[in-house]
A and B are shown apart, each in its own frame.
Chain A
C-alpha cells in the first residue's frame, strides 16, 4: 500500500549533486514525507523528513512542491558511499482509528554513484 512512485534506478557522478524525484499525488494534508536509504547488507537509515516546507540537514535537502504532490531529495555532493537504495515514504496512520504511525516502503530508487 505504498503511496509513492520513484524511478527504479539512477546514476550519479561523484562530487556532483544527486536529485532524486518522488511522486506522492494522493498524499493527505497531514501526512509527512520521509526519506530513508539502505546501503547493501545494512538496515535502512533515516535521511530527512518534511511536511510542507523545504528541509535541510547535514545529509541532504528535501524540496516539496507547493501542492505537495511530489518532492525531490538532493544529495549536494555525492560520494561513492552514497550508493544505496533510496526510499521515499509517506508516513501513514497505523490503523484507521489510531494515533500511531507506520512507514510503508516501496521498492525505492537504486542510486549508483560512479567515480
Chain B
C-alpha cells in the first residue's frame, strides 16, 4: 500500500511570497489532516477534512492560510503572503476510518524556510 505523498519536500521563499503544498492521501482514506510542526515542537493541527468538507479549521490562520480538498482526494495548502514565523515542516496525514476514529498515517512533510 502506497503511503501519503507530499510535494515538494523542501521550499525556500522570501517573506510576503506565496507558496502551495500538495498532498495525496492513501487511497480510500476519507479523512485528511494538515499539520504545522515548528522546530522543537510537536505537530499542530491546522485543518481536518472529511471527504471534501472541513471538519475543523479552528487553528488555521485564515488571513493567510487556505486549504482545499477537491473531489475528496488530493489536497493543497496555501500560504499567502508568507511570514518568517511560517518556517516549519508541513505534514499531511490521512485516516482510513470515517471521522478520524482510526490510525493516522503521515507523509514525509514539506520543509518550508521563509527568509
Contacts and interface: CB of A to CB of B under 8 A. Distances in A.
Interface residues of A, number: 23
Interface in A45-68: 45-46, 49
A107 B42 CA distance: 5
A94 B55 contact: yes
Nearest to A101: B100
Interface string A60-103: 00000000000000000000000001010000001100111111
B73 interface: no
A100 B50 contact: yes
A102 B91 contact: no
A104 interface: yes
Contact of A107 (B35, B41, B45): B41
B55 A46 contact: no
Interface residues of B, number: 27
Main secondary structure of the interface of A (DSSP, over half): loop
Nearest to A95: B56
A44 to B, nearest CB: 5
Contacts of A85: 42
A43 B45 CA distance: 14
Contact of B45 (A42, A45, A99, A102): A102
A87 B109 contact: no
B107 interface: yes
Given A95-B55, A100-B99, A105 B44 contact: yes
Contact of B91 (A43, A49, A106, A107): A43
A108 B109 contact: no
B48 A104 contact: no
Contact of B99 (A2, A99, A104, A108): A99
Interface of B: 4, 31, 33, 35, 40-45, 48, 50, 55-56, 58, 91, 93, 99-101, 103-109
Closest 8 CB pairs of A and B: A43-B106, A105-B42, A94-B56, A101-B100, A100-B99, A100-B55, A46-B103, A105-B43
